[in-house]
Amino acid sequence: MIALASDCLLFQTTTGESIPYPADMVLDALTGVSVELFDPEFVNHAANAVFHYFKHELGRHIVSVSEFAGALDNVLRGFAVTAQSSAETHTRPGLLESDLSRLARESGQGWELAFFPRLRAELRQQLQRLNQAPRILRFHGLRDCVMQLAGVRRWSLRCQALQGQIVDYLRGCLSAEAGQAGCALLVE
């Protein structure tokens, strides 16, 4: 048996064939992915990220073409998300809430690759709305969100790490987006 190159994934077609593709040629195997809205170089980077996710994060060596195309399509749709009105609760002025588990559901099969751009878009949207004191952003549903993204029913070390990544990502995005505005972030 010939060993698969370290930079390749086996793509299983609908006919049952398995064809090895390196990361830089994976777009040749895909059809039906919504790429017309994006620069070809951007789509190539997104495809490389999805390739990396399947290969290194999930440890997969064989992926169906439709599964890969669906994940890439979800990632690209996540970047195309425009400011949409989200369900928010105003318990007092200056407090805006976002549901992390809802964001995870909306990310679909894109998992973390679709979730993090969607999370940043949600944070930006909330910052635009936040113009009253005491200026608090509350993101709730963290545990459910992490378990959805990890695809598990029980909490694990991977869940713990992902939870830390989400909180760190929110902190980093807030400091980059809010600048000197000074608002509080509550993640639970």
Separation of alpha carbons 29 and 72, rounded Å: 12
pLDDT for res 47: 82
Which residue range(s) make up the domain with 182? 95-187
Q: Is residue 87 part of a domain?
A: no
Judge if 75 and 103 occupy the same domain.
no
Judge if 28 and 71 occupy the same domain.
yes
Q: Average per-residue pLDDT in the chain?
A: 77
Judge if 168 and 99 occupy the same domain.
yes
pLDDT for res 21: 79
pLDDT mean for each 10 residues of the chain (188 residues): 69 80 68 58 80 84 81 74 39 75 85 89 83 72 91 90 92 77 77
Q: How many domains, the chain?
A: 2
Judge if 61 and 119 occupy the same domain.
no
Judge if 69 and 146 occupy the same domain.
no
Judge if 99 and 148 occupy the same domain.
yes
pLDDT for res 71: 81
Judge if 66 and 103 occupy the same domain.
no
Q: Is residue 33 part of a domain?
A: yes
Q: Is residue 66 part of a domain?
A: yes
Task: Tell me the pLDDT tens digit for each residue of 24-50.
Answer: 777 665 654 555 566 777 777 888 888
Judge if 111 and 171 occupy the same domain.
yes
Judge if 71 and 112 occupy the same domain.
no
Q: For the chain, first and last CA: distance in Å?
A: 50
Q: Is residue 1 part of a domain?
A: no
pLDDT for res 165: 93
- Whole-structure pTM value: 0.53
Judge if 65 and 109 occupy the same domain.
no
Q: Is residue 139 part of a domain?
A: yes
Judge if 44 and 128 occupy the same domain.
no
Q: Quickly count: other Cβ atoms within 10 Å of residue 105's Cβ.
A: 13
